[in-house]
Chain A
Amino acid sequence: MNVRKIITIVEEILTEGGRPVSPAARVAIVAAVIENPWSGQGYVEDLGPGIDQTASAAGALLAPKVLEALGAPAEAYGKAAIVGLNGEIEHGSGLIHTLKFGDHFRKAANATTLLPAVEKRGPAGIVFDIPLKHITDATIRSHHQTVEVRIADAPHPNEIVIALAAAAQGRPQQRLAPLTTEQ
């Protein structure tokens, strides 16, 4: 796996809706900008070997970093694969939609649910939203949230941005009735 750069973003929300959020709500994102493993190979029928070479290494790289950046136990999480213009979305999906990738994060965060994801193709500087859900129960409504990311010079056409996101809590000022209260 050829990594060009590693991006870390940490958001702390101190007020929302005009009211203090205490403790401040924290969301962290760590992204690796990597060379598309299938770059320059045309249409590759079997993505398995490339996935085997890359997905686990990417998960192992990002999982500890995003938890360190968060600085608190993760309660919600999500993932992203943003493919440069010369690649297929299938390439990004191949790298993140495998247990070889996600299990690193699940294990490190004591999580059990599937990671919600965004897969997208675009130019460097594209804005993408990472969806997050609760790490052990994807129906917990308070933890459905989204974080927006932009990396000015990535992905290049032959690159893929692979990212993990973690939140230490649900939405700031979350106050929706739980799913179970609805008929």
Chain B
Amino acid sequence: MKTTIEDRLLLTVVRPVITVRCMQQRNRKRIEAGIGIRKLSLYREETVLELGKAPASPVSRASVAAVVANPWVGTGVTTDLSAEVGEVAPLLAKLLTDRLIDALGGADRIEAFGKAAIVGTAGEIEHGGALIHTPYFGNLMREFLQGESIICFADTRAEAGEELIVPMWHKEHAATRSHYQTVSARVPDAPRADEIVVIAAASTGPRPHPRIGDRATDPAITAQTLEAVLS
């Protein structure tokens, strides 16, 4: 039987590295128990009306959150994170983008994207960054969602149930102002102290009624503009 992404994350996350390094007893127990990933949570919203008016293009936004064991809990600030990143991040990129694509009707329908991490209180922000900021996650997410832009992000360290607002921008032209937008992500019972919530987000279009211009139409704004306002 073919091993699914979920199986890999569930059963083999960071196992080789951790066994070699004789990680803390608690971590080894966790791996043995097969709790690399605990749950997945999809949130999608479709705006039908905004201030009573239907958007010119109906847009859906979605975030998908995966609750994973923090493989670096109990390690020091000089620990090399790269081995676990190479093992875990590609699986997460595939798992999360598969669900995003499914929730939004196809990669070709996705116009904007973003990513985020919520680190449990026993971890470092650096641990969240390790899972979302390297090519092992970012390049794959960009490729699977058929984008070209750098992927914008948010991260925080928090107790379970904290909401994070995930920023998104255009997947091919990051400066496209109509596509600057956000979507919320929240897992009520995660992250536990020794977990990380890893999030991928996407939108099928712009804000509901975009009308604040764009770089192509902006006049030149300088300090003299302020002086003119003040005079």
Contacts and interface: CB of A to CB of B under 8 A. Distances in A.
Interface in B12-59: 30, 33-35, 37-50, 52
Contacts of B45: 5-8, 151
B183 to A, nearest CB: 9
B48 A4 contact: yes
Nearest to B103: A8
A14 B48 contact: no
Q: Is the interface of A mostly helix, strand, loop or mixed?
A: strand
Contact of B10 (A4, A9, A14): A14
Contact of B48 (A3, A127, A151): A3
Contacts of A15: 10, 33-35, 37-39
A107 interface: no
A148 B33 CA distance: 27
Contact of A150 (B6, B37, B163): B163
Contacts of A151: 45
A152 B183 CA distance: 9
Nearest to B187: A11
A10 B46 CA distance: 15
Given A20-B10, A150-B163, A14 B40 contact: yes
A146 to B, nearest CB: 10
Contacts of B34: 15, 19-20
Contacts of B188: 127, 148, 150
B48 A11 contact: no
A5 B35 contact: no
B186 interface: yes
B47 A5 contact: yes
A77 B129 CA distance: 38
B184 interface: yes
B158 to A, nearest CB: 15
A2 B49 contact: yes
Interface in B65-111: 103
A26 to B, nearest CB: 10
A145 B45 CA distance: 24
Interface of A: 2-16, 18-20, 24, 127, 148, 150-152
